[in-house]
Structure 1
Amino acid sequence: MPDIEMRFNRDMLVLSAPVDEVLSRQGVDIEHDREFLSLIEPEAVREAYRLESVAGAQCLVTNTAGITAARLAHVNMEDRPLELAEASLTVLRSLRPQHIIAEIGPTYLPIDASSATSLKQNRDQYADAARAFGASEYDALFLNGMVSLPDVQCALMGVRMVYDGPVFASIDVEADGTISRRNQPIEEAVSLMAEYGASVVGFATAAPLDETVELAKRVRAIWDGPLLVQLAVRKHDPKQGVATKENPYYCPDVMIEAATKLRGAGVQFLRATGAATPSYTGALVAASAGFDVVAQA
């Protein structure tokens, strides 16, 4: 696999969509069996990723959002993070993607920003999750779905204790640019990501396209490194016929316009999430492959 850092601020790249939607359509209980499935049914997981690979995703993202000890404890797997990390990486290596990105999701633990003990406990959760991937062959770690500013801080501090390679960091935001369910602006999150060592900063949103483009421009105003935007598909419904505020990414065709406009705003990395299928990934690839990032003034 080529060094992904060599492509920063150069090639437009698409990350694979989460495989949850494909697996759930096959009857998998995503809430309880996502991690377990990677261990007992790797071929089913591989097939879901194969569809993303065929769609053209240059970066395959591991199925490890719940790899922190706090999350694994809910499915009685807190003693198996190394197995989970290796199983997920093995599936992706077999598909020979251009890049493999190892995902670590939020712990969802409460954080008292005024307590050094609370911050340390959360930081150590992320450090241990990063250690689970060891020295395996992957291109970057991906801190995805961070839920607050202290969460961003703890995650990056923990990962940077044990890993000096590229780190993607993304936070979920509303249409007005505030962190989901919190009155914290996206600019504060981006500044914190930069301060604590993120190589790529990003955000995920279900906001309509024009508002998402404006959010990207706000980030670009204070960050000149690689930018990731994740578009959350609420419902795949081609019969809807037109984008609405409630469901702006209702079918894959919408992603073609989205990729074009986001590239114009200086975005490099694109991803469809939520109820997205491989068709969404394919549309993003079709509209962005072969293009360089648009340099911003």
Structure 2
Amino acid sequence: MTNTFIELLNSKDVLLADGATGTNLFNMGLQSGDSPEFWNVDEPNKIKALYQGSVDAGSDLFLTNTFGGTSARLKLHNAQDRVFEFNKAGAELGREVADKSGRKIAVAGSVGPTGEIMQPVGDLSHALAVEMFHEQAEGLKAGGVDVLWLETISAPEEFRAAAEAFALADMPWCGTMSFDTAGRTMMGVTSSALAELVEEIANKPLAFGANCGTGASDILRTVLGFAAQGTERAVISKGNAGIPKYVDGHIHYDGTPALMAEYAVMARDSGAKIIGGCCGTLPDHLRAMREALDTRPRGDKPALEQIVETLGPFSSDSDGTGDYVAPVRERRGRRKT
């Protein structure tokens, strides 16, 4: 099977993904508490502008505005019966933007967590989770995405359920977890455990990795953890644009385009094949990342001390595995943000 995403993955040394969805939509007027997926139908021009911002900045792929597109998430807005509609619409808008770009751009169908806790800890059964993810996947497939993109997952049980659902939809996929709790996901998964998980499941992803989390430094430490497992599968790194701070009544991420350019190069040298941004990442950040990836030669894997010196301290003194303690210190001559 070949499609634009697979062709790009096989032909390019590194792929630049997109940036933030929420941050950019809030800048366009989305209100806190609103469901972004409604805009796929109610504000299509704004969603196309979101996608176009990534394309114009040089991204090779972008994610659809469907992160909260499961029935579990849409139920919070009394829209659980509009799963197929919202996901298909978000994908169709993406397909329109990509197809008019004049170059190969992959459209990735974003699939976020259900927001519920799976059994045996919680109440969500495996069968129901598969059903939810399958319903969303079919909408994204109908809208024309090249690949399904599971992101910000914490529990291995949910990862497995999504993989099974994507097999039912007969779609290639990628999957990332968020390592935001001292080098682990909220449910305790380590980088090494995810690297093992993707090889254990029957429907393996084309690529796997990390997104969101607690900052550029931390996600690079996680990427190094993937690489240490000797994986031959493509690794994804989509880190936040710095650290969130509350400024004048709004959340502001302190990562500059220059810092994200450094992050992109170090992510590549750490072993990532697909590199993008998450919360706080704007088109200006992506432009700087694109330029850095295109103009700076590949280097050796960065040492932990080098990551700290360049991008700032880690949020914790452990990478989550217990194998070593990483340096946590303020860097000297820190770049102004």
What is the TM-score of this pair, normalised by structure 1?
Answer: 0.85
Q: Give the structure 2 partner of residue 219 of structure 1.
A: 226
C-alpha contact (below 8 Å) 2:268/2:275 kept by paired residues: no
Amino acid at match of 2:86: L
C-alpha contact (below 8 Å) 2:116/2:122 kept by paired residues: no
C-alpha contact (below 8 Å) 1:113/1:119 kept by paired residues: no
Amino acid at match of 2:36: R
Q: Which moved more, 1:267-276 or 1:29-38?
A: 29-38
- Do the aligned partners of residues 167 and 291 (structure 1) sit closer, same or farther apart at CA in structure 2, a change above 3 Å counting? farther
Task: Give matches, 1:135-214, under 5 Å.
Answer: 135-163=142-170, 165-174=171-180, 176-179=182-185, 181-196=186-201, 197-207=204-214, 209-214=216-221
3-state SS, counterpart of residue 80 of structure 1: helix
Q: Which moved more, 1:115-124 or 1:154-163?
A: 115-124
3-state SS, counterpart of residue 270 of structure 1: strand
C-alpha contact (below 8 Å) 1:168/1:199 kept by paired residues: yes
How far 1:228 moved relative to its partner? Answer: 0.4
Gaps of 5+ in 1: 238-246
1:71 is the counterpart of 2:73: yes
- Do the aligned partners of residues 29 and 215 (structure 1) sit closer, same or farther apart at CA in structure 2, a change above 3 Å counting? same
Partners of 1:48 and 1:209 in 2: how far apart?
Answer: 23
C-alpha contact (below 8 Å) 1:201/1:228 kept by paired residues: yes
Q: Give the structure 2 partner of residue 278 of structure 1.
A: 283
Q: Give the structure 1 partner of residue 240 of structure 2.
A: 232
Partners of 2:97 and 2:143 in 1: how far apart?
Answer: 16
3-state SS, counterpart of residue 276 of structure 1: coil
Partners of 1:87 and 1:5 in 2: how far apart?
Answer: 23
Q: How many residues align?
A: 286
- Per-residue CA deviations over 1:186-244 (Å, capped at 9, x if unaligned) read 2112221232211110112444544433321210222211110011134489xxxxxxx
Aligned-pair Cα RMSD in Å: 2.9
3-state SS, counterpart of residue 85 of structure 1: helix
Structure number with larger C-alpha Rg:
2
C-alpha contact (below 8 Å) 1:60/1:101 kept by paired residues: yes
Gaps of 5+ in 2: 247-251, 302-337
Partners of 1:5 and 1:16 in 2: how far apart?
Answer: 17
C-alpha contact (below 8 Å) 1:55/1:285 kept by paired residues: yes
- Do the aligned partners of residues 85 and 202 (structure 1) sit closer, same or farther apart at CA in structure 2, a change above 3 Å counting? same
- Do the aligned partners of residues 131 and 121 (structure 1) sit closer, same or farther apart at CA in structure 2, a change above 3 Å counting? same
How far 1:291 moved relative to its partner? Answer: 8.4
3-state SS, counterpart of residue 128 of structure 1: helix
Q: Give the structure 2 partner of residue 243 of structure 1.
A: none
What is the TM-score of this pair, normalised by structure 2?
Answer: 0.76
3-state SS, counterpart of residue 152 of structure 2: strand
Partners of 1:60 and 1:205 in 2: how far apart?
Answer: 15
Q: Percent of counterpart pairs with the same letter?
A: 18
Partners of 1:147 and 1:117 in 2: how far apart?
Answer: 14
C-alpha contact (below 8 Å) 1:42/1:91 kept by paired residues: yes
Amino acid at match of 1:172: S
Partners of 2:199 and 2:286 in 1: how far apart?
Answer: 28
Amino acid at match of 1:266: G
Q: Give the structure 1 partner of residue 20 of structure 2.
A: 18
C-alpha contact (below 8 Å) 1:145/1:170 kept by paired residues: yes
| Greater relative contact order (CA < 8 Å, ≥ 6 in sequence) | 1
